[in-house]
Amino acid sequence: MRRSKRLVLLSKFLSDNPNRIFTLKYFGDKYDAAKSSISEDLNIIKDAFHEAGEGTLETIPGAAGGVRFRIKRPVEVIERFLAELSNILSDRSRIIPGGYLYMTDVIFSPEYSSKIGEIFAQLFVDAEPTCVLTVETKGIPLALMTARALGVPLVVARRDSRVTEGPSVNISYISGSSRRIQNMALPTRGLSEKARVLIVDDFMKGGGTARGMSELVREFGAEVVGVAVLVATAYPEEKLVKKYTSLMVLEKIDAERGEVSLKPVKIPIQKEGI
């Protein structure tokens, strides 16, 4: 196969399989090329991805080593995207009677959910999550796209245990905002006790749901390595989880005046070379 075609196929493959390690031998066999040729291809791809701000191509030494593509966008690019997203979501036509904000089309869109998932993945990849957890329903697209970008499985807690999913661990928790008792269930085969869990959700007000998910994780003897939400409300300031990351802060919805006050956060990550 000629170099130009290998470059095309390797670029697509790496992009489709982020955060996973592949050996040079694997690619050599796949594309019927010498390891030295693959190595040169990977250098070209590494430079191109880096210069275009797509991400890094890292070489992992050792017996389990190989090469790994990680999505890593420059902070300015992420902040520009969040500013654009805040604008879209602040449109007055999105105000719903009762003072809610219609975000469903955005968080369910493949285009936005994949970009948001890639940002979550970038922010939490160093915590080395081995799975992503959310609770049905609206967090699922963001959580799935985060799991995809991290190359790990997705686990979804249900509001009730389901006969089709077998035995489950069930918890009750108090919703932070409505103060109502809610239920959450996860099949016993859903999480191992060695799991390092990244919790993802679309929205956080009181933080009760995220706290419920944390408790569920602890019931399995597993560990929460992060909590990521797209939008958190500014009030109450004290959430029921200590540490969380939100990409946008919702300060106020003024239904009378038709004003939404939604702001992107400053991304708390450093720029790094490769």
Quote the CA–CA distance of 113 and 138 in Å, as a whole number.
11
CB 173 within 8 A of CB 215: yes
Given 22, 24, 33, 54, the residue binding its own copies (CB under 8 A): 54
φ, ψ dihedrals at 117, nearest 5°: -60, -40
The answer to whether 113 contacts its own copies (rule: CB under 8 A) is yes
Site for its own copies in 162-221 (CB under 8 A): 163-166, 187, 189-190
The answer to whether 154 contacts its own copies (rule: CB under 8 A) is yes
The answer to whether 234 contacts its own copies (rule: CB under 8 A) is no
Helix 110-124 to helix 140-150 angle (10° resolution) is 50
Which range of residues in 80-88, 95-103, 251-259, 264-272 is near its own copies by CB under 8 A? Answer: 95-103
Q: What angle do CA 73, 78, 83 make, to 5 degrees?
A: 165
Given 33, 144, 197, 228, the residue binding its own copies (CB under 8 A): 144
Mind giving me the DSSP string for 145-194? HHHHHHT--EEEEBSS--GGG-SEEEEEEE-TTT--EEEEEEEGGG--TT
Given 60, 77, 88, 96, the residue binding its own copies (CB under 8 A): 96
Which range of residues in 45-53, 59-67, 207-215, 224-232 is near its own copies by CB under 8 A? Answer: 45-53
**CB 54, min distance to its own copies, A:** 7
CB 240 within 8 A of CB 62: no
Quote the CA–CA distance of 185 and 160 in Å, as a whole number.
6
Which range of residues in 82-90, 98-106, 217-225, 247-255 is near its own copies by CB under 8 A? Answer: 98-106
Quote the CA–CA distance of 164 and 90 in Å, as a whole number.
40
The answer to whether 52 contacts its own copies (rule: CB under 8 A) is yes
What stretch of H or E contains 265? none
CB 160 within 8 A of CB 149: no
CB 202 within 8 A of CB 214: no
Query: By three-state DSSP, how is residue 215 classified?
Result: helix
| Nearest to its own copies of 205, 239 (CB atom) | 205
**CB 173, min distance to its own copies, A:** 19
Given 62, 97, 268, 273, the residue binding its own copies (CB under 8 A): 97
Given 23, 59, 114, 177, the residue binding its own copies (CB under 8 A): 114
Quote the CA–CA distance of 204 and 27 in Å, as a whole number.
43
The answer to whether 126 contacts its own copies (rule: CB under 8 A) is no
The answer to whether 16 contacts its own copies (rule: CB under 8 A) is yes
Query: By three-state DSSP, how is residue 209 classified?
Result: helix
**CB 6, min distance to its own copies, A:** 8
Contact residues toward its own copies (CB under 8 A) are 3-5, 7-9, 11-12, 15-16, 44-45, 47-49, 51-52, 54, 96-98, 100-102, 104-105, 108-110, 113-114, 136-137, 140-141, 144-145, 147-148, 151-156, 158, 163-166, 187, 189-190
